[in-house]
Amino acid sequence: WLDSVAVNDIFLGIYIGLGVAYGWDFVAKYVLATYLIYGVWLTFMTWMQHVSEEVPVHTSEDWTFLKGALSSVDRSYGPFNWITHNTGNYHVIHHLFPTIPHYHLKEATAAIRPILGDRYLKSERFVLFDMVRSLIACHFVEPASGHEAYKSEYGFASNQGESAKRIPAPAE
């Protein structure tokens, strides 16, 4: 961990040096803004690949490598697929075989899909629609048959949890 701290200190020194040499506006525009964009995109993609009503959530007693690997969703990010080397739209295969190079993900997914059958999760919906759907439906997990399932606090959600059922729905 000392190596990591040393590298972070070196970069912090570089950023301070850039701020002193070129101004803090330069650092905000070219360093902080790019980190923010990258961080938001990475968080969004990771969340969308792993959080959905359909994704089973396994307890520690029930979890296996295969069940964990299949607890993700392939979904298209439209024109951004090429930027991420198709890691979002071919994400399930990445979990099963993490050493497959990005240029073989499509071919490997096509080969494994028939074997996985209904265990393979893919969303054909527009990714922002799925994001709103997950924001509404995935607040916590409750026990379900053989695993746990995402549930919602909202009384109007189709997968409302037990705690949401105790909250009366708004009057119309």
Q: Give yes or no for residue 141 having a pLDDT over 50.
A: yes
Using DSSP, state whether 122 is helix, strand or coil: strand
146: phi > 0 → left, psi -120 to 50 → alpha, else beta; which? left
Top pLDDT among 165 and 51 is at: 51
Q: Is the whole-model pTM more than 0.85?
A: no
Q: Give yes or no for residue 165 having a pLDDT over 50.
A: no
pLDDT in tens, 84-135: 888 889 999 999 999 999 999 999 999 999 999 989 999 988 899 999 999 9
pLDDT in tens, 17-49: 999 999 999 999 999 999 999 999 999 999 999
pLDDT of residue 171: 53
Handedness of CA 12, 16, 19, 25 (dihedral sign): positive
Question: Phi and psi (nearest 5°) for 148?
Answer: -110, 160
Which DSSP helix (H) or strand (E) runs through 27? helix 24-27
Q: Rounded distance, CA 32 to CA 21, Å?
A: 16
pLDDT of residue 162: 56
Question: Phi and psi (nearest 5°) for 121?
Answer: -105, 125
How close are the terminal C-alpha atoms of the chain, in Å?
57
Q: Rounded distance, CA 45 to CA 68, Å?
A: 18
